[in-house]
Amino acid sequence: MHIGRFFAAMAATLAAVCACGPSWQESQADGYRLITQKKGATLGYTSAPILEADGYAFKDLNRNGVLDVYEDWRKPAEERARDLAGQLSIEEIAGLMLYSGHQAIPGSAYGFGGATYGGKNYADSGAQPWDLTDQQRKFLEEDNLRAVLVTTVESPEVAARWNNNVQSFVEGLGHGIPANNSSDPRNETAATAEFNMGAGGKISLWPTPLGLAATFDPKLVEHFGQIASQEYRALGIATALSPQIDLATEPRWSRFNGTFGEDPALDTDMARAYVDGFQTTPGSPDGWGSQSVNAMIKHWPSGGPEEGGRDAHFNYGKYAVYPGGNFETQIRAFTEGALKLDGGTLMASAVMPYYTISYGIDPSGENVGNSYNKYIITDLLREKYGYDGVVCTDWGITNDNASIESFDGKCWGVEGLSVAERHYEVIKAGVDQFGGNNDKGPVLKAYQMWVRDFGEESAMARFRKSAERLLLNSFRTGLFENPYRNPAETAATVGKPEFMQAGYEAQQKSIVMVKNHGGALPARKAKVFVPKRFYPQTPGMFGLSMGPAAHWDYPIDRSLVEKYFEWTESPAEADFALVMIQEPAAGSGYSVEDRARGGNGYVPISLQYRPYKAEFARKVSLAGGDPKEEFTNRSYKGKAVSTANEEDLNLVIRTKAVMGDKPVVVVVNLSRPAVLSELEPFADALLLSFGVQNQAVLDIVKGDFEPSGLLPMQMPADMRTVEEQFEDTPRDMRPLKDSDGNSWDFAYGLNWSGVIRDARVERYGN
């Protein structure tokens, strides 16, 4: 053979051999090993054997030496989920149907559940902040739990390392099912935070959802979702327990600020944009991929119409009512928004029902909590609206409830059942997963009840169906391929400068200027007087704790103000005053003291600063009844309440008195509508903020940014219109009309030129 032909033949042979060999490379990452493949999935692993097929690498997660369908990343996610569900024991499926209680990183000895490390609290244990707690090891290994709810984290790097420890631990168990870590919303800011262009942070900071709604810009909300999803995945989080798309038609409801407001059209568009932003991986054919974050929309079928504004975390707020017959309007953001996406993921991957009893909605007459109601879950959500994704209960609904006012179990309508029986009823209703339950025991008992009533074949089919739905959310987000995070990349991604910039700009756009008499704003170069505010001691979240002792203090840091204006302690020397206060705070709608005096315990929730007497409330409540109450009428008509922060109103009035003809600029931080008619005459300019940095407010006060926000809800004229509105009906209050003749209705806002009348108002304001 010619020498040239010989070497050519040898080269061709070698090329053919190489083409048939592995087309992947392996490297050591920070705490795990990483396999990268040409035209193939990237694999992260610690202990699973690696299988080779057709030149590609696959993880042998169940260690049987065979490439199972669920281990083959080339297969469709639905096929893989079905294969794995068919391999699981009922004990493993029961674990998938659990969703952990709140997990802080590192674990705390206090809070919802004490955490230990080797039997000691964190401070005494010598543990690293990313180590697993004893409790986490137990529920991951013994209870087969794989859905973990993460709360506080010490830092992004710690979160990544903790995630890697979790994933390594579960990779060595059973079928190697990865943990699907999740979070409640993490991107809301504190007023005292400062923004530095070009600087990063622990996570990007955005206004509350109500503030996002005030931008009236779904594209902005979608962009938020795209940014937040990158931060979540970098932290090791693949499921967001959000968005909260309840239609906030009840102005007194304490969870109003977590919503997109009271208008169904705006709520629907915002819901769709948020879910598209979180779930879509750019460039993926079906939208799903390694940047996707499952969105768990809440709370089906809307927790907005709570009677009297009382919240269903408590027994006294368990009823949602529909005096206006607007149930279909309440669910519109679900059925036309989050379940009809523009992107390739098509619909939200999970749904959370609210604690409420949707009173009078079930044609059978059954009034039980939504997760127990087959009509609400199966007949409507699954069958009428075609939803086959995960349905997960809200937290603690199967636990016992000790008293009307206690913050414990929320077993509304099924108080007489055992914990296991409640699990059974929830599964029969069509739900897949139990929020806040780390124990597989009650789920296994529910399985035996199904076997007793319908046979073992039926029971296994029902439970495997839930397993398929739950596993699908982990397959579609790539967790079975690489659930590990690079701590250095996490630190570089979470809160990076461009993400911080986008969040800050959203904060600026969310602020609503409702009054600007005589062009009081912008206040260019000027001396400013900032009076101290009285901070009353108030209950913490859901009334579980008390805040700091009552005290007087400045509402804003002086050094920050001096970057914009000259500070003066003298009203006489000032060019204008800046008064920063909070919305009226008048309790939760229930009073143990009233009950002790012989009343029924129910009192008004006031949205005004001065003491309020409910002269126009219903004589008879629309809903009522509880095993712990001997009555059904929860009316509070004729009762009075006081506001904890009435001094905020006095502060505005006093400041106007000492300033005379000079402008008084008032900033009210809102989480829901408020009756501001008491203070409006004493404010020359009035800004409404929804959970933003004080710096963003000052940008508008000085004129560095023109206000563009619009009211995402009506601002009521008085408490009479609040009492007489229907809890389930949008925009049915008489709005405040100010001294300049402007009506503070939905979609109202001012810029420097006057009332805003742009395309947003045209689309949503009519």
What pLDDT is stored for residue 4 in this prediction? Answer: 45
Segment 254-299, tens digit of pLDDT: 999 999 999 999 999 999 999 999 999 999 999 999 999 999 999 9
Token reading at 596: 């002790």
Examine residue 599 and state whether it is found in any structural domain, yes or no.
yes
Examine residue 66 and state whether it is found in any structural domain, yes or no.
yes
* Enclosing domain of residue 310: 85-493
Token reading at 567: 């500070």
Q: Are 482 and 435 within one domain?
A: yes
Beta strands 50-53 and 350-353, pairing class? unpaired
Give the separation between CA 126 and CA 124, rounded to whole angstroms.
6
Q: Rounded mean pLDDT of 186-208?
A: 87
Segment 445-466, tens digit of pLDDT: 999 999 999 999 999 999 999 9
Q: Which helix (H) or strand (E) holds 152?
A: strand 147-153
Q: Rounded mean pLDDT of 23-44?
A: 95
Give the separation between CA 288 and CA 296, rounded to whole angstroms.
15
Q: Are 271 and 369 within one domain?
A: yes
Residue 15 has pLDDT above 70, yes or no: no
Is 532:654 a contact under the CB 8 Å cutoff? no
Number of domains within the chain: 4
What pLDDT is stored for residue 671 in this prediction? Answer: 97
Residue 218 has pLDDT above 70, yes or no: yes
Segment 554-586, tens digit of pLDDT: 999 999 999 999 999 999 999 999 999 999 998
Q: Are 404 and 435 within one domain?
A: yes
Segment 591-634, tens digit of pLDDT: 999 999 999 999 999 999 999 999 999 999 999 999 999 999 99
What pLDDT is stored for residue 10 in this prediction? Answer: 37
Burial of 397 (0-12, 13-18, 19+ CB in 10 A): buried
Examine residue 700 and state whether it is found in any structural domain, yes or no.
no
Q: Are 636 and 670 within one domain?
A: no
pTM over 0.75: yes
Which long-range contacts link 615-620 to residues 24+ away (Cβ below 8 Å)?
A: 615/720, 616/719, 616/720, 616/723, 616/724, 617/308, 617/723, 618/723
What pLDDT is stored for residue 524 in this prediction? Answer: 85
Q: pLDDT: is 547 or 362 the higher one?
A: 362
Q: Are 610 and 537 within one domain?
A: no
Nearest to 185 by CA among 201, 207, 156: 207
Nearest to 512 by CA among 746, 272, 253: 746
Q: Work out the mean pLDDT of the chain and round it to a whole number.
A: 95
Cα dihedral sign for 75, 76, 77, 82?
A: negative
Q: 430, 464, 493 — which closes off a domain? A: 493
Q: Are 235 and 353 within one domain?
A: yes
Give the separation between CA 404 and CA 315, rounded to whole angstroms.
5
Segment 226-242, tens digit of pLDDT: 999 999 999 999 999 99
Q: Are 206 and 253 within one domain?
A: yes
Give the separation between CA 615 and CA 619, rounded to whole angstroms.
10
What pLDDT is stored for residue 16 in this prediction? Answer: 35
Examine residue 506 and state whether it is found in any structural domain, yes or no.
no
Give the separation between CA 452 and CA 207, rounded to whole angstroms.
51
Segment 657-673, tens digit of pLDDT: 999 999 999 999 999 99
Q: Are 432 and 296 within one domain?
A: yes
Residue 404 has pLDDT above 90, yes or no: yes
What pLDDT is stored for residue 600 in this prediction? Answer: 98
CATH number of the domain residue 300 falls in: 3.20.20.300
**Torsion angle of the four alpha carbons 249, 250, 255, 257, in this order, in degrees rounded to the nearest 10:** 60
User: What are the helix (H) ranges across 59-217?
Assistant: 77-87, 90-96, 122-125, 134-141, 156-171, 209-214
Examine residue 535 and state whether it is found in any structural domain, yes or no.
yes
What pLDDT is stored for residue 111 in this prediction? Answer: 60
Q: Are 473 and 564 within one domain?
A: no
Examine residue 596 and state whether it is found in any structural domain, yes or no.
yes
In which band, very low, low, confident or very high, does the pLDDT at 113 lie, cut at 50, 70 and 90?
low
Q: Are 547 and 658 within one domain?
A: yes
Examine residue 405 and state whether it is found in any structural domain, yes or no.
yes
Give the separation between CA 531 and CA 475, rounded to whole angstroms.
56
Q: Are 605 and 568 within one domain?
A: no
Is 652:682 a contact under the CB 8 Å cutoff? yes
In which band, very low, low, confident or very high, does the pLDDT at 197 lie, cut at 50, 70 and 90?
confident
In which band, very low, low, confident or very high, does the pLDDT at 44 lie, cut at 50, 70 and 90?
very high
- Residue 709, helix vs strand vs coil: coil
Residues in the chain: 766
In which band, very low, low, confident or very high, does the pLDDT at 746 lie, cut at 50, 70 and 90?
very high
Residue 741 has pLDDT above 70, yes or no: yes
Residue 544 has pLDDT above 70, yes or no: no
What pLDDT is stored for residue 12 in this prediction? Answer: 37
Examine residue 696 and state whether it is found in any structural domain, yes or no.
no
Residue 185 has pLDDT above 90, yes or no: yes
In which band, very low, low, confident or very high, does the pLDDT at 547 lie, cut at 50, 70 and 90?
confident
Give the separation between CA 180 and CA 477, rounded to whole angstroms.
9
Radius of gyration of the chain (CA): 28
Q: 446, 461, 493 — which closes off a domain? A: 493
N-term to C-term CA, the chain: 87
Residue 541 has pLDDT above 60, yes or no: no
Segment 697-720, tens digit of pLDDT: 999 999 999 999 999 999 999 999
Is 194:242 a contact under the CB 8 Å cutoff? no
Give the separation between CA 304 and CA 262, rounded to whole angstroms.
9
What type of residue is 526? A
CATH number of the domain residue 528 falls in: 3.40.50.1700
Q: 49, 75, 101 — which closes off a domain? A: 75
Beta bridge partners, 43, equal 35
What pLDDT is stored for residue 525 in this prediction? Answer: 82
Residue 540 has pLDDT above 70, yes or no: no
Q: What is the DSSP letter of 24?
A: E
Q: Rounded mean pLDDT of 367-381?
A: 98
- Residue 277, helix vs strand vs coil: helix
The Cβ-side half-sphere exposure at 370, using a 13 Å CA radius, reads 27
In which band, very low, low, confident or very high, does the pLDDT at 247 lie, cut at 50, 70 and 90?
very high
Residue 13 has pLDDT above 60, yes or no: no
What pLDDT is stored for residue 289 in this prediction? Answer: 97
Token reading at 700: 């508008």
**Torsion angle of the four alpha carbons 263, 265, 268, 269, in this order, in degrees rounded to the nearest 10:** -120
Beta strands 612-613 and 640-641, pairing class? antiparallel
Q: What percent of the chain has pLDDT over 90?
A: 92
Token reading at 218: 């779904």
Q: Are 70 and 104 within one domain?
A: no
Beta strands 98-99 and 102-105, pairing class? unpaired
